[in-house]
Chain A
Amino acid sequence: MVRAVSAAETAATTYASAIHAEGLRVRAGRRMAVDGLDLSMDTGVHGLLGPNGAGKTTLVRSIATVLRPAGGTLTVLGEKVNGRIDLRGLRRQIGYLPQEFGFYRRFTVREFIEYISWLKEMPAAETPGAVQRAIERVGLADRADHRMKTLSGGMVRRAGIAQAIVNDPRILLLDEPTAGLDPDQRMQFRALLRQLGTDTCVLVSTHLVEDVAAACTDVVLIDNGRLVFQGVPADLAAAAGEDAGAGDSAAERGYSAILRRHRETASSPETAS
């Protein structure tokens, strides 16, 4: 099914990159989870990697305009998130799947996504078509009128992806979208990612290095709230070099090698400087 493209969508952008952070600091509770992050992302699929507690979720939440940055600058679609900005206009262009995806159990998939599209202030006339399209894109069409509580974990995840893409966002933030998906569904999901990445800035936070290697055009690796590495997946695989880091694939070895090197330099600053 095709949809009409509005003039606003094809208008030239006046910003260099969809997401731009400089020295970004974001607090999660008492801890500074993102601490001096410099990052720039534009259209494409960006895989956000990092160990637990690296600040992935906090970064995603601040880009989703849920958390206020504690310092530095964060510019999303050309709007500085720190200042007093028109959050409504910005939020209409963002799709967001939180890590802990909460939903209404008694709603059917279609009702829930319609509710979310109402929250996203989509025109009522476009909603049914957009909802159906989102459900079909994640492959849930046969379960569209089943209650959310009857879905398996992987299906809930897919419903979460559907609610994130229902408004055709310019920025799509997916926090751990592949958790609970079986291998076949992960392949479908990667195909969907590639398709979305042609005209959307997609940020996928994940633990699974192979997802990133397979579906992303760009890898962002953070540790302790700082950027450690940004490059194409091939660079990640090449980074392993001669030293045999832990991991079964080239990308995994590259991931662990980069992290280890970063931690060695971070723990001995005099050698680094």
Chain B
Amino acid sequence: MRSAEHVPAAVLDRYATGGAGIGADALWAIEAHLEGCAPCRERLGEAVARRSPETVSLLARVHANLTTEMARSRQMPARRLPRRVARWVPPGLWPRLAMTLLVVAAALGLDLAGSRVLPSLVLLVAPVAPLLGVAAVWSVGLDPAHELVVASPRAGFYMVLRRSLAVLVVVMPALTAAGWLTGASPARWLLPCLAFTAGALALGELIGLRVAAGALALAWTAGVITPSILAARTPLLLEPASLPYWAGLIAVIAVALVLRRDAYTGLRSDTWFVR
């Protein structure tokens, strides 16, 4: 820059004592130069120390005051965990997740205690286990700040997916552990589990997530869990032979989900979305 022209020492001295007798235009030029020139700022510091005892004492006073002020003021509290976690799991979701874990634990307990004649309860419950949490992902009753969430720019499919993923991250390891103890391998229930989760989200675009998740869980309980327990055999749907069909179903649901993704963004006249 204009480094060749440094501020003359005499001008700096006058500037340090209040700038009397320096024209406004010269003052601008001096200050513009000082902003970009460290050596001149250093010389200004020396000039102030030499020529202007009142500035020096003012600085010392401010320094002393700030030191006592800072010693007295409270520290910013350390960042707490909930702040970050809430971006994935809103506080209203935690009780639902705890309930899900309890259900899985109960199924596991019955499996371990019961006879080997019945099909594994963990295996039967696994496909619908995430639905309890998924139902609470986007509903006014279970998220106190839902009205604020719905009116925010982040509202929409991405937010629903994000929270559903958080549900799966909690539920999946629990199911895997329970399945490992009872011999219900994840290979048999993983695809059905994903299909039900995605299915609830897709159906939720039409009738509301809470109703959709409830309907699917009820259908599975009535159509598969109850007959299997009564007949005391593992349903065909959870045999390895059915896996290609589940995979196909997931693909179809994924397409439907993406096509109608705007449904969660809001602006609904249907009451389910907001109430």
Which residue from chain B places its CB closest to the CB of A27 in the assembled complex?
A: B269
Interface pick from A100-108, A225-233, A234-242, A255-263: A100-108
Which residue from chain A places its CB closest to the CB of B76 in the assembled complex?
A: A145
Chain A CB count within 10 A is highest, among B152, B154, B156, B268, for: B152
Instruction: Answer whether residue A77 sits at the interface, using C-beta atoms and an 8 A cutoff.
Output: no
Q: Are A68 and B268 in contact (CB under 8 A)?
A: yes
Instruction: Answer whether residue A11 sits at the interface, using C-beta atoms and an 8 A cutoff.
Output: no
A106 to B81, CA, bound (A): 12
Instruction: Answer whether residue A81 sits at the interface, using C-beta atoms and an 8 A cutoff.
Output: yes
B-facing mask of A94-136, CB < 8 A → 1, else 0? 1010101011111110010011101111000000000000000
Please name all residues of chain B whose beta carbon is closer than 8 Å to the beta carbon of A116 when the two chains form the complex.
145, 148, 152
Instruction: Answer whether residue B80 sits at the interface, using C-beta atoms and an 8 A cutoff.
Output: yes
Q: Are B265 and A98 in contact (CB under 8 A)?
A: no
Instruction: Answer whether residue B116 sits at the interface, using C-beta atoms and an 8 A cutoff.
Output: no
Instruction: Answer whether residue B90 sits at the interface, using C-beta atoms and an 8 A cutoff.
Output: yes
Which residue from chain A places its CB closest to the CB of B146 in the assembled complex?
A: A102
Please name all residues of chain B whose beta carbon is closer than 8 Å to the beta carbon of A27 when the two chains form the complex.
269
B153 touches which of A68, A104, A121 (Cβ 8 Å): A121
A89 to B153, CA, bound (A): 7
Which residue from chain A places its CB closest to the CB of B143 in the assembled complex?
A: A102
Q: Are B83 and A111 in contact (CB under 8 A)?
A: yes
B266 touches which of A87, A103, A107 (Cβ 8 Å): A87
For the residues of B in contact with A, the DSSP-based class is: loop
Which residue from chain A places its CB closest to the CB of B265 in the assembled complex?
A: A87
B148 touches which of A84, A102, A105, A106 (Cβ 8 Å): A102
Given contacts A107-B82, A121-B154, are A163 and B148 in contact (CB under 8 A)?
yes
Shortest Cβ gap from B274 to chain A (Å): 6
Instruction: Answer whether residue B91 sits at the interface, using C-beta atoms and an 8 A cutoff.
Output: yes
Please name all residues of chain A whose beta carbon is closer than 8 Å to the beta carbon of B275 when the two chains form the complex.
29
Instruction: Answer whether residue B144 sits at the interface, using C-beta atoms and an 8 A cutoff.
Output: yes
Q: Are B147 and A100 in contact (CB under 8 A)?
A: yes
A84 to B267, CA, bound (A): 10
Q: Are B267 and A102 in contact (CB under 8 A)?
A: no
Given contacts A65-B266, A163-B148, are A91 and B82 in contact (CB under 8 A)?
no
Q: Which of B237-271 contact A (CB under 8 A)?
A: 262, 265-269, 271
Q: Are A68 and B150 in contact (CB under 8 A)?
A: no
Which residue from chain A places its CB closest to the CB of B262 in the assembled complex?
A: A84
Shortest Cβ gap from A81 to chain B (Å): 7
Q: Are B151 and A68 in contact (CB under 8 A)?
A: no
Q: Are B86 and A145 in contact (CB under 8 A)?
A: no
Q: Are B148 and A96 in contact (CB under 8 A)?
A: yes
Q: Which of B181-198 contact A (CB under 8 A)?
A: none
Instruction: Answer whether residue A64 sits at the interface, using C-beta atoms and an 8 A cutoff.
Output: yes
Given contacts A106-B91, A120-B154, are A98 and B147 in contact (CB under 8 A)?
yes
Instruction: Answer whether residue B23 sits at the interface, using C-beta atoms and an 8 A cutoff.
Output: no
Shortest Cβ gap from A59 to chain B (Å): 14
Q: Are B153 and A91 in contact (CB under 8 A)?
A: yes
What would 14 more interface pairs be, CB under 8 Å, given A87-B156, A116-B145? A27-B269, A29-B275, A64-B151, A66-B267, A67-B269, A68-B267, A88-B154, A98-B151, A104-B86, A104-B145, A106-B82, A116-B148, A119-B153, A121-B153
Chosen A-B contacts, 18 in total, with CB atoms closer than 8 Å, are: A65-B266, A66-B147, A67-B274, A70-B269, A84-B262, A89-B153, A91-B153, A98-B151, A100-B147, A102-B148, A104-B82, A104-B90, A107-B83, A107-B91, A115-B86, A116-B145, A116-B148, A119-B148
The 9 closest A-B pairs by CB, nearest first: A102-B144, A119-B152, A91-B153, A88-B153, A68-B269, A98-B147, A68-B267, A111-B83, A121-B153
